[in-house]
Copies of this chain bind each other. A is one copy, B any other.
Amino acid sequence: MLYIIGLGLADEQDISVKGLEIVRKADRVYLEAYTAVLLVPKEQLEAYYGRYVILADREMVESQSDEILKDADTKDVAFLVVGDPFSATTHTDLALRCRQNDPPIPTRSIPNASILTAVGATGLSLYNFGQTVSMVFFTETWKPSSFYDRIAENASLGFHTLMLLDIKVKEPNLQALARGKIVYEKPRFMTVAKCASQMLEAEEERKQGLCGKEALAVGVARLGSEEQQIVAGTLEELSAADLGRPLHSLVLCGKKMHDMEWEYVRGFAVDQKRFDEVWQRNYSGK
């Protein structure tokens, strides 16, 4: 059996009791470590679970999954995923490969918290979100603005947009690669401030008024942990906000935002007076 087990968001104790029991009994334990990361190192999981944990990077999961699935028709393999098991399509792929295996490998998923719902801690109603959107790091020569089209779709219906921010782990250094050497870059995690500034940059280009300086948004960091931080404000304010260490996400508020949502969110405002003023002028009932 392949168990795809959600770990939740923060640390080793966010696993469910059910998930923990499976991990403790499984023949092999993998940790998918490239679509998201916990706030604690692998060693802390190993100490708590009492198990050796094999790090599964993108290459292993996407190209060498035979290794992960080896003997899984007769043995129990635990595949640990930060957040919820189906938060990334790559996990559905793995389940599909199990189904298509000869003989088929039975799978079971153990759900857990995901940023997609934990973001409800902001006070924004989960019923008012449209599609989730990814934001990648811009480079000098590559500033993909497809995220802007998705925001535009959501905005056309007044929905909030959850932006999941880029994570770069185990990225090869391109200069070294050109010399035939594999050297990995230091992991990079996009901050709320970086996301907000990239949104402002895209707005300058596209000019549809979707994510300009006065657009209201909520930044979140380390949700579900004791050092969880939530900051609300205009994109201009958030582009200067420091929410500390990763992981960060950002929600762009939709115009459908209800008074009750506003009442809760304003408690997190960088500048409550300014927040209320922009809300009254551009959002409330608009």
Knowing A111-B223, A130-B131 touch, does A84 contact B118 (C-beta < 8 A)? yes
A30 within 8 A of B: no
Question: How many Å from the CB of A168 to the closest CB on chain B?
Answer: 20
Against B, the Cβ 8 Å flags (1 = close, 0 = not) of A6-50 are: 101101011111101100000000000000000000000000000
How distant is the Cα of A273 from the Cα of B113 in the complex, in angstroms? 36
Considering the complex, give the chain B residue whose CB is closest to the CB of A156. Answer: B157
A263 within 8 A of B: yes
19 pairs, A vs B, C-beta closer than 8 Å: A6-B113, A8-B16, A8-B112, A11-B18, A13-B21, A14-B16, A14-B17, A16-B17, A17-B17, A84-B113, A87-B126, A96-B263, A108-B226, A114-B117, A116-B116, A126-B132, A127-B134, A128-B131, A153-B157
A interface residues with partner B (beta carbon < 8 Å):
6, 8-9, 11, 13-18, 20-21, 84-87, 89, 92-93, 95-96, 99, 108-114, 116-118, 120-121, 123, 125-134, 153, 156-157, 159, 223-224, 226, 260, 263-264, 267
User: Which 7 A-B pairs rank lowest in CB-CB distance, beginning with the nearest?
Assistant: A86-B120, A111-B113, A13-B18, A114-B117, A111-B118, A13-B17, A84-B117
